[in-house]
Structure 1
């Protein structure tokens, strides 16, 4: 195949760490921008006299726009890869960021977060394809590097919001636009590499020895499973995503309110404690992929969801210090699941990386949004503390991981 560059061949056989770290850093910047939204909820609640239900609706609108489009974007880019879409997604996020900085009412806020959600829906499927292409076969490691960037950004966002936005006001959200511009620059460079290294579909012609090797390397590494088994396994994985992200919704959207309400901490202190939880999520993410590569993804999925249950059940019944310690432990354990789940799913349905990434990122965001709205409504009619007591049981759903089929090499 004369139209395939040497770099393209190299990228399929060796791990291209420079691209992995670049796309991971872009993911950091993307999710940092997104994490500003829940980080400023206490400020928005005060400025516009919002109820917890309205806070939940903001998250719902953001997460739904980020989730509904993702599978369709992934399905389209599987057939028509577009390197420019990486930067295009960031442009939407930049526009939404500037809009929310100067939003004057609740509905303006909803429109602003929907733009950021659209940017996310464009970014994630294609960025996952880049990570897969640069993995050199180390798919778990590549997905963890990619994911840890996003989780690190999600952790840093609330900390920067506490330092920049909370003391100075809503308009200072616009300062985060500098990071969006930086992400645009990096994604433009990554897009050029991506465009040069997309392996074209093989034509019907005799293959050379090197082409045969490439063709074999692209084949599934596991025995094909029956379609019913695959559908059942995907359903189990989506149930696990539900349990993980419903619980995560309680932490990302309402942990600050929980700390303020139960322990009387300040808004800035609550943001620092939220940062500690999200930082542990980032640290735990990097473990899931490599451990899944080594010990099997099913084992890691099982441990990461169900293993968090004892700590989530204990959290609503302890003091401030132990609450923070337990939150960090929960973040470390539960965050290792997503990379393993995503790679397990791509092994089930090889050749559909964009569609699978879009489906699972989209479903995760959707569950986070729906969870936030439902929990906000519940908090208005009961209490924040009651919400955390109910959510503590969600990781027990992780027991369904035992029904996942074993992937034989």
Structure 2
């Protein structure tokens, strides 16, 4: 049934197998990159106490990190679609290394913002090219390959509570500087990836250009494709605002409402992020089997009952509902990337930068907006209203089927 919708796209490459070694290494690099980024929100409770920062200032820090990524990612993807840049990967992580070192020794709010700008710049360079590497190594299993790549990033984000409990609480802000070791390891691994990537370009046509000639015959994107792309971005908006609210502010909520310590509150956040990482992994293979539209629709709507109830139940039930919400909601994370890449063939980096970069950008705007709302109407009310955002997932039913997307690309 729904499997038939994905068969046409896979028919020409049915004999190709994924290059798992490359996929696992780029996934590990994604884990290391995003673990470094996770240090920033993980430090929020510490910075709030040690520097007396408001929720709005914490939102500005998150905004500074994520907005640079969101603005730069589509630009990097657009440039590398024209001319792939294998060695941009280790260079980008070098910016991150400088940023995390600065964060560990920052003595003012302004210095913190400057440091996270460097980290955001490194992320902007890494993500589109990392996604391209996953595409090149995918063979016929694009959903699976993108899941392996993206689950690395989401697992890195899930490490934030562990980082807080084991490193930042005992060591304080200076503990962030220890992550220069993590950044250095990522740079070394990415040099290996860049060498493979460079050799691949010499022996195989640029995967982003395989369908570019047929795309170039068209006068830009059709109205249907533009509308579908806008719909995908709106769904990403809803998903990311929700996850941003939970990631940045839910620990404050459980500390206040359930009288938990910082370490205890991190268990809730870890459960949400880890279940989200697991959901990310399963989303890709499920979309290869059941279709991308079906998985995107399921991930948005099936999470609604749990997200609405989380603020109204006792701590044990809230913990369980957080796990369920994280798993279900994030099954669509890698799927939306592949959907957009197949919606606009030949623009692998641009679509990756737009979908993943926009997710960071929406998270940036959401961090500031939700922080302001929390200061204005109270943290409890903000968390309560946050739970209705996944209802926007009803719009997923308007997405064209995988079969329809394939037919558009044959015209």
- What is the TM-score when the length of structure 2 is the normalising length? 0.90
Give, in whole Å, the separation in 2 of the partners of 1:145 and 1:320. 32
Q: Which residue of 2 aligns with 1:153?
A: 156
Contact 1:128 1:354 in 2 (8 A): yes
Mapped pair 1:189 → 2:192: yes
**1:272 Cα offset (Å):** 2.3
Residue of structure 2 aligned with 1:95, choices 90, 98, 107: 98
Mapped pair 1:67 → 2:70: yes
Q: Which contiguous aligned blocks of 4+ residues in structure 1 show a shift greater than 3 angstroms?
A: 199-203
Mapped pair 1:264 → 2:259: yes
Contact 1:229 1:405 in 2 (8 A): no
Give, in whole Å, the separation in 2 of the partners of 1:307 and 1:182. 39
SS of structure 2 residue aligned to 1:294 = helix
Contact 2:374 2:381 in 1 (8 A): yes
Give, in whole Å, the separation in 1 of the partners of 2:305 and 2:160. 28
**1:66 Cα offset (Å):** 1.0
**1:277 Cα offset (Å):** 1.1
**1:13 Cα offset (Å):** 3.1
Query: How many residues end up aligned between the 2 structures?
Result: 386
1:233-258: CA deviations, max 9, x gaps? 00000000000000011111011111
1:75-128: CA deviations, max 9, x gaps? 000111111111011111111101110110111111111110001000000000
- Unmatched runs of 5 consecutive residues or more in structure 2: 1-12, 407-411
**1:199 Cα offset (Å):** 5.8
Q: Which residue of 2 aligns with 1:170?
A: 173
Two-structure CA RMSD over aligned residues (Å): 2.2
SS of structure 2 residue aligned to 1:69 = helix
Mapped pair 1:114 → 2:117: yes
Give, in whole Å, the separation in 1 of the partners of 2:47 and 2:210. 54
Q: Which residue of 2 aligns with 1:48?
A: 51
Matches within 5 A, 1:283-298: 283-298=278-293
Residue of structure 2 aligned with 1:139, choices 130, 137, 142: 142
Residue of structure 1 aligned with 2:229, choices 234, 247, 260: 234
Contact 2:268 2:322 in 1 (8 A): no
Q: Which residue of 2 aligns with 1:321?
A: 316
Mapped pair 1:394 → 2:389: yes
Contact 2:42 2:160 in 1 (8 A): yes
Give, in whole Å, the separation in 1 of the partners of 2:202 and 2:244. 38
Cα distance change on mapping 1:41 and 1:285 into 2, 3 Å? same
Cα distance change on mapping 1:172 and 1:215 into 2, 3 Å? closer
Give, in whole Å, the separation in 2 of the partners of 1:94 and 1:350. 34
Give, in whole Å, the separation in 1 of the partners of 2:92 and 2:221. 36
Cα distance change on mapping 1:47 and 1:134 into 2, 3 Å? same
Give, in whole Å, the separation in 2 of the partners of 1:304 and 1:298. 10
Mapped pair 1:255 → 2:250: yes
**1:157 Cα offset (Å):** 2.8
Q: Which residue of 1 aligns with 2:294?
A: 299
Give, in whole Å, the separation in 2 of the partners of 1:72 and 1:150. 21
Contact 2:42 2:163 in 1 (8 A): no
Give, in whole Å, the separation in 1 of the partners of 2:368 and 2:205. 47
Cα distance change on mapping 1:376 and 1:226 into 2, 3 Å? closer
Residue of structure 2 aligned with 1:330, choices 318, 325, 328: 325
Cα distance change on mapping 1:215 and 1:396 into 2, 3 Å? closer
